[in-house]
Structure 1
Amino acid sequence: MKISINRLKDYIPFNQSTEEIADLLTAGGLEVEGITTYESVKGSLKGIVVGEVMSCEPHPNADKLRLTTVDLGDEVVPIVCGAPNVAKGQKVPVAKVGATLYPSSGEPFVIKKAKIRGEVSLGMICAEDELGLGEGHEGILVLDTALPNGSPVGQLFDIKEVDVLEIGLTPNRADAASHLGVARDLKALLNKELVLKGVESFAVDNEDKIIQVNVADNKDCPRYAGLTLSNVKVAPSPKWLQDYLKAIGLEPINNVVDATNYILHDLGQPLHAFDADKIQGGEIHVKRMPAGTKFVTLDGKERSLSGEELMICDKQEGLCIAGTLGGQESGVSSQTSTIFLESACFGMDVVRRGAQFHGIKTDASFRFERGTDPNMPVFALKMAAMLIKDLSGAVISSPITDIYPEPIADFEIPVSYRHINRLIGKEIGNEKIKQILQSLEIKVTNETELGFVAIVKPYRVDVTREADIIEEILRIYGFEAIPLKENYQADFLAEHPAKDANKLQYRVSEMLAGIGYSEMVTNSLSKSSYAEKAAFLAPEKDVLILNKLSEDLGVLRQSLVFTGLEVLAHNINRRQKDLKLFEFGSVYAKATEGYEEGKMLSIFLTGNASHENWMHTVKPVAFTDLYAVVEGLLTKLNLSQPEVNVIESSPFSFGLNLIINKQSIGTIGLLSPEICKLADVKQEVYFAELDWNRLNKLAKSQGKFQEISKFPEVRRDLSLVIDQEVTFDQIRQMATKVGGKLLKRINVFDMYKGDKLEEGKKAYAMSFYLQDNQQTLTDKVIDKTMSKLMHTFEKNAGALIRK
């Protein structure tokens, strides 16, 4: 939301700088996200001065150029000019060397010292379009002025420079969605009086054009006001109004529409102007229309009504979607001479539902959805009518119709002084509390020693409880005025910190990027042929695209494997063969009823483990490289290491199914050559696909921490000959169960398969690290623990221990 500093000064006279006002509003809860300066003429003609042409001669080397000398007050400079109308004695606008010009069309440019056809030129005599003042380019702009030479040209034109605040309005602060609303806050923050122009001069000129109004639903339209203006001359708005609208980001349209936009952004009350001659039967009806009724809005789109939205209608048809957008047929045009001006209060819910159903977002719906002031419609209507009358020469041709059968009452909120002091954390004094509330137009009644009753006007839709009143007091008093304490306590401590899925994803992405993996984002659309040729996918589960662009983009993917392999192929074909990639992406499948969507994390590893280097031999990546990454990822999510089941089917040549808490969290392994070939990848690829939704649920917000032991760690090594079917994970689980708290970690530092062992056997050289956090381990305890481990391996894994 954009707020003009100049307009704020009309409401609250102040001397503070724009930056100080921005800081003050931000501290008070209206966060100023930025400050810009609107210039009615880009650059404000800075560096452009009044010059007098002292001489004008033909250029010796160019027929269409003139050599001039121009008096700039403090100096006389030569300027080469190509304008046909330049002549001696003229007062002209001159851009001095170093000035920046912002032409009406094209890019800005800086005036530099130049040599044109052999003659020095120290400036530029400007045409109207070169200054950004218009489109004229027939010749230079000749000035009619008595200003001394060298005076800034900007003095001759009504150039506006306005500081504009960009406020990030929170949804609860509907009351501040206008210049008046921001000024109300500023009034309290500066402790000054608000200057609000009255409407005492409003008067009805005649009653020649009366429009009858009927409201069928007073719940969704608690108040509806309107009047008629005749003899309207629709024309462009005056410069002051156009500058105001442009400063806050609006394009001027005509004097009638601009007046309603002015009131909307000034007072926060949306209005709508109808061409009164197009209101059939001379009647306005606020009602609902049947579902399916066609209605063409101002943007030229034909819309089918839901039957739930509130409509402004005449005797025959719809004229406007209430609080949202007007109709094309009833809008104000250049031929309009009589208008019916509407100012109403519509229910938040009905406007929100209608705007969402039709996908419409307007300045009016923005305010009605959040809640407008039910006491403002008539005041704003009078202001708008008087403004349109001034701008267009119109006359007010009807008394004000104001249908308000059940006035909305002020909020009455009991407040306790004790609760104020408890929640704020400081006693700020009863008189200060009352002064702050009165500055916010909140009345204090029925005061006792214990508290009072606050009377809040209904435009403050966000202040309905005692806590809201206390918040209002605190934001005006100032959060920074509350001293910090050495010790803090809380009335409530959450038992389980909420998990943030985005933070978890960022944590994992950061980890993978830190170890050299690059993130990729691939298309969710894929080829149907993948599911037909890959045994691990089911063609009948493909989600087909009805309006597919091509066969290559004909279905939604069931797995991230093929879209990732296509990225690998693209890079490998461009001689980038050593790749570490990951992706968070969605997968889709048909279900028994409807469709299923899941989110997965894929990790790809291929090529060499490191780049070619004279210090060490290049070696290809291995399964353990990728498994170590997955282990680190699970640790990052504060999860235990998974159990594993061997996979020997598509899409892997060999792989593992990873299980935590008896749930599969994903798979990891070497992709089979047949799968890689489908995407034209001819080198080995290690691949992991993890169920990210399941990991999100399993992930723990906090890990376990313990004090670092003061006592030394002991290492013992064993050599085990075991069957090739026995996995390291099985050995690890056996050791963890037997070793208990003393066994801190296990490592395999060598493995052997060969002719020195029986067929079907392998040998592990393993190290076991033991440590007691309470005392130094004795040889007796160490030997006892190792004996238990060896007995377990011999009994449960059929291991032969080499001693």
Structure 2
Amino acid sequence: MKISLNWLKDYIAIDLAPERIDRILTDTGLEVEGVEKIEAVKGGLQGVVIGEVLTCERHPDADRLNITTVNLGEGEPVQIVCGAPNVAAGQKVVVATVGCTLYPNPDEPFKIKKSKIRGVESHGMICAEDELGMGKSHDGIMVLAADAIPGTPASEFFNLGDDYLIEIGLTPNRADAMGHIGVARDLKAYLNVHENAQLEINRPDVSAFKVGEVINPVAIEVEDRERCPRYCGVTIEGVEVKASPEWLQKRLRTIGLSPINNIVDVTNYVMHELGTPLHAFDAGVVNGKVRVRTAKAGETIVTLDEEERKLSETDLVIANASEAMCIAGVFGGIQSGVSDSTKAIFLESAVFNPVSVRKTARANGLNTDASFRFERGVDPELTMYALKRAALLIQEVAGGEVAMAPVDNYPEPIKPFQVSFNSVRCNQLIGVNIPETEMEKILTNLDISVVEKNDADWMLEVPAYRVDVQREADVVEEVLRIYGFNNVPLPEKLNTSLSYRPKPDKEGLKNQVADLLVGFGAFELLNNSLTKAAYVEELGQDVLLPERHVRMLNPLSNELDVMRQTLLFSSLEVVAYNQNRQRSDIKAFEFGKVYHKFESGYHENERLLIILSGKREQENWNSTSEVVSYYTMKGLVNALFGRLGLANMTSEKALKSSLLEDGVQLITGKQKTGEMGRISKKMKKYFGIKQDVFVADLDWDALVQSSVMNKVKYTELPKTQAVRRDFSLLLDKQVTFAEIQDIARKSDKKLLQDVGLFDVYEGKNMEEGKKSYAVSFVFQDKEKTLKDEQVDAIMNRIREGLEKELNAQLR
């Protein structure tokens, strides 16, 4: 949310530096994400002063140039060559001095230098309006009033009034701070409490509001009071739709809004002032009647963005007698909108149910300034005030007369919240003793009234606009944020006791694995648990199913409407994001939960996803440009399983029903603990990824559970030598090394220590459909030296097993 400092000062009498306001707002919970100076004229007219033309003579070598001497208020007068036809002695003018920079075009700065023009020195420039960036006129130089004082800085003379834009990262709970007055309220509370100021909020006076001749009454019917508890409206006749005055346009531009016309600009202005959205309809389209109703089946509306939208029967609309004119609280319709031909308007100010607005906005893929506020909850007590405030401003900038008594359809007023509060418990939760007088002062400055006291037990009345303060804990938070988080002292010594650590220690194992992966050069990812349903629908490949989605009841957007079923898709977003910024070498991992909905109920499972792509090593003069491969991933996963003590208990099987391809399943004991492989071409194309991406998707819950089987044993180092034998095997191409390893280990479980693959050959002079593997076998008896006969017997069993099960041939 964007706040203008000059605009803010209309409501609270402060004279604080922007940096100080930044600190106060952040300390009170309205985190300031940035402060930007907004210059009325780019460059701020630095180095530009008011001058007086003392003499003006024709240039001897140019008919259209004049040589002038100009008094700049101090020092000797300077000589300036000027080509303007209207320059004359005795004028007060605007002078850009040598060294200053002008911005006639914001993107093309122009620096003033000492120069010679047709042989005559010139020390500056007498400026026209467009050369200063203050207008478009270039008919001649600006001639000022005779009382202008030479030497006055131009920025001071023109009273440019630079502003500061304060950008606040507004959290969803702070519905009270969705306008400038709400932000001013927090400043008031802080300064009144900490600096004993006596500040009040200066709300604009609406006492001048009056009804003229009643010539355009509108009947208002609210058919769904649950979704629209309050609806106010009034008509204004005789308006002239045109561009807004400069002050109004400047205010809107400062906070990043584009002016549209004086009527719409006023509704936007009041919304950003009070936090209460309004909407103006062309009264001719309203035609005497407004109905607040749910949409009819199949009903459509063309919204202001010229898109036709099909409404559902759960959408609330503002309609006339025959058709919908506006999606309530979200977006207006183009047919009922204010246009240049509009002569009368119907002005709406309402309260809509936050859940209803949120669902409608998400269903229609809309996110507007109005829906942003209604979704969080607007102040029901400001509805009529906002209507009168906007009506007065419209009359000021567009003329016209109120043509009906304002209607306030509010049958069941929303009451303030009653909250029980205990001051002793408040101090216990905060960890510091705040005097009750100061506590009450904080609450009073936040418009929270103490209606009853019984020693430490208080009964509070919280205004209806504070939808986030309905429990004692919420009140404690309010006290703390104004008292100041930084004012709670931290003790020099903290006492604690060792807690029971479960076995296996899930967090301890996670730290060990994270350290291993970081040591490999990987970065840890932390992605949102929310994602979009379209991923599963388009890429699920019958592995992930749409019916297993855990859907959000009130999604923030269509991009975040379900809980993730896999960590893969959000990680591929990271790969694509980095690749598009020339960071294509990716090594990353993420611990996170995935969520599924089954007939038996909901299920959570914690996973570990590892993702590799690009070059193995950082590009350097003495490094190779080798890229990561499946075997890079396999080596890393083997190291991980070894770190958990599960390497000897884990086997591999062919992939079945997987999002990955060209990979394997990992089986620890009898339990599937993950899979690794490469993403498909379809996924690469979907995410716009241009290189191979290798993935290991591991079941972290299963790995932790399996780690219980890991028994650490200590043995003496063997005193005997190991014996190595090799086989060169001719195999079918589809045979994997894992199958060879399994057969070898089944042949001997005592003396065979290791099986390795040290050469693979496929290609020239090789029978079609075949490949060659060179496999090593290491044997050792830790008690006595092995004999050739023992090793030969085991090798024969291995050979027989390979020939029988894999149709292998010795070469």
TM-score in terms of structure 1 length: 0.72
Q: Does structure 2 retain, via aligned residues, the 8 Å contact 1:738–1:788?
A: no
Give the Cα separation in 2 of the matches to 1:178 and 1:490: 47
Task: Tell me how far 1:621 sits from its aligned partner.
Answer: 11
Q: Taking structure 1 as reference, are residues 626 and 7 closer, same or farther at Cα in structure 2, changes over 3 Å only?
A: closer
Q: Deviations over 1:246-291 (max 9, x none)?
A: 22222223322222222111111111111212222x1111112213
TM-fit CA distance, 1:316: 2.0
Relative to structure 1, the CA distance from residue 429 to residue 514 in structure 2 (aligned partners, 3 Å threshold; closer, same or farther) is: closer
Instruction: Please name the residue that 1:12 is paired with.
Output: 12
Q: 2:81 maps to which residue?
A: 80
Contact 2:758–2:774 (CA<8 Å) still a contact in 1? no
> Matches of residues 325-724 of structure 1 in structure 2 within 5 Å?
325-485=331-491, 486-487=493-494, 513=521, 601=611, 628-632=635-639, 643-645=650-652, 658-660=666-668, 662-663=671-672, 665-666=674-675, 689-692=694-697, 694=698, 718-722=721-725, 724=727
Alignment match, 2:228: 221
Equivalent pairs, count: 675
DSSP-derived class of the 1:455 partner = strand
Aligned-residue offset at 1:349: 1.4
Q: Distance in 2 between matches of 1:491 and 1:407?
A: 54
Cross-structure match for 2:323: 317
Q: In structure 2, do the counterparts of structure 1 residues 737 and 47 end up closer, same or farther at CA, with 3 Å as the change threshold?
A: farther
Contact 1:291/1:304 (<8 A) preserved: no
Q: Assess if the C-alpha contact under 8 Å between 2:53 and 2:70 holds in 1.
A: yes
- Matched residue SS, 1:409: coil
AA aligned to 2:400 is A
* TM-score under structure 2 length normalisation: 0.71
Name the structure 1 match of 2:153. 152
**Structure-1 residue corresponding to 2:290:** 284
2:210 maps to 203
- 1:2-31, CA deviations, whole angstroms, 9 ceiling, x for partnerless residues? 112233333332343221121111111010
Residues 298-331 of structure 1 deviation map (CA, whole Å, 9 limit, x = unaligned): 2222222223221111112222111112121222
Does the residue aligned with 1:453 lie in a helix, a strand or coil? strand
1:248 aligns with 2:255: yes
Write the deviation string for residues 30-56 of structure 1: whole angstroms up to 9, x where unpaired: 101111122332333222112233444
The residue number in structure 2 matching 1:534 is none
2:195 matched to which residue of 1?
none
Distance 2:705 2:128 in 1: 67
Q: Does 1:299 align with 2:305?
A: yes
- Equivalents in 2 of 1:498, 1:400: separation in Å? 64
Name the CA distance, whole Å, in 2 between partners of 1:480 and 1:230. Answer: 54
Question: CA 1:193–1:737 in structure 2 vs 1: closer, same or farther (change >3 Å)?
Answer: farther
2-structure distance, mates of 1:408, 1:469: 20
CA pair 127-688 structure 1, distance change in 2 beyond 3 A = closer
Give me the whole-angstrom Cα distance separating, in 2, the residues matched to 1:620 and 1:155.
62
Residue 281 of structure 2 aligns to a residue whose secondary structure is: strand
Tell whether the 8 Å contact from 1:750 to 1:766 is kept in structure 2 after alignment: no
Where does 1:718-797 land on structure 2 (aligned, <5 Å)? 718-722=721-725, 724=727, 786-787=782-783
Q: Relative to structure 1, is the Cα distance of residues 105 and 3 closer, same or farther in structure 2, using a 3 angstrom cutoff?
A: closer
Change in Cα spacing, 1:703 to 1:136, as seen in structure 2 (3 Å) is farther
CA distance change for structure 1 residues 132 and 729 in 2, over 3 Å: closer, same or farther? same
> What is the alpha-carbon distance in structure 1 between the residues aligned to residue 642 and residue 117 of structure 2?
72
Q: CA deviation at 1:509?
A: 8.0
Cα shift at 1:421: 2.5
Query: Aligned in 2, Cα 1:289/1:612: closer, same or farther, shift over 3 Å?
Result: closer
SS of equivalent residue, structure 2 residue 266: helix
After TM superposition, the structure 1 stretch with the greater mean CA deviation from structure 2, 724-733 or 131-140, is 724-733
Paired residues of 2:721 and 2:785 also in contact (CA < 8 A): no
C-alpha separation in 2, matches of 1:37 and 1:488: 47
Identical aligned residues as a percent: 40
Alignment map for 1:261-272 (pairs within 5 Å): 261-272=268-279
- Does the CA contact (< 8 Å) of 2:664 and 2:676 recur in 1? yes
What is the CA deviation profile of residues 628-653 of structure 1, one whole-angstrom value per residue up to 9, with x for unaligned ones? 444346578997577345989xxxxx
Q: 2-side partners of 1:302 and 1:173: how far apart?
A: 33
- Give the drift of 1:366: 0.7
Counterparts of 1:75-224 in structure 2 under 5 Å?
75-104=76-105, 106-191=107-192, 192-224=199-231
Q: Could you tell me how far apart the structure 2 residues matched to 1:387 and 1:166 are?
A: 26
Structure 2 unaligned blocks of 5 or more: 193-198, 524-540, 544-567, 577-583, 591-607, 656-661, 682-691, 730-736, 761-772, 797-811
1:35-54 aligned within 5 A: 35-54=35-54
1:260 and 2:261 matched:
no
Distance 1:275 1:365 in 2: 21
Considering only aligned residues, what root-mean-square deviation do their CA atoms show, in Å? 5.2
CA deviation after TM superposition for structure 1 residue 503, in Å: 12
SS at 2:404 equivalent? coil
Amino acid at match of 2:101: T
1:798 aligns with 2:794: yes
**What code does the residue aligned with 2:309 have?**
R
Alpha-carbon distance between aligned partners in 1 of 2:627 and 2:277, rounded to the nearest angstrom = 69
Rounded Cα–Cα distance in structure 1 between residues aligned with 2:143 and 2:663 = 84
Contact 1:609 1:621 in 2 (8 A): no
SS at match of 1:786: coil
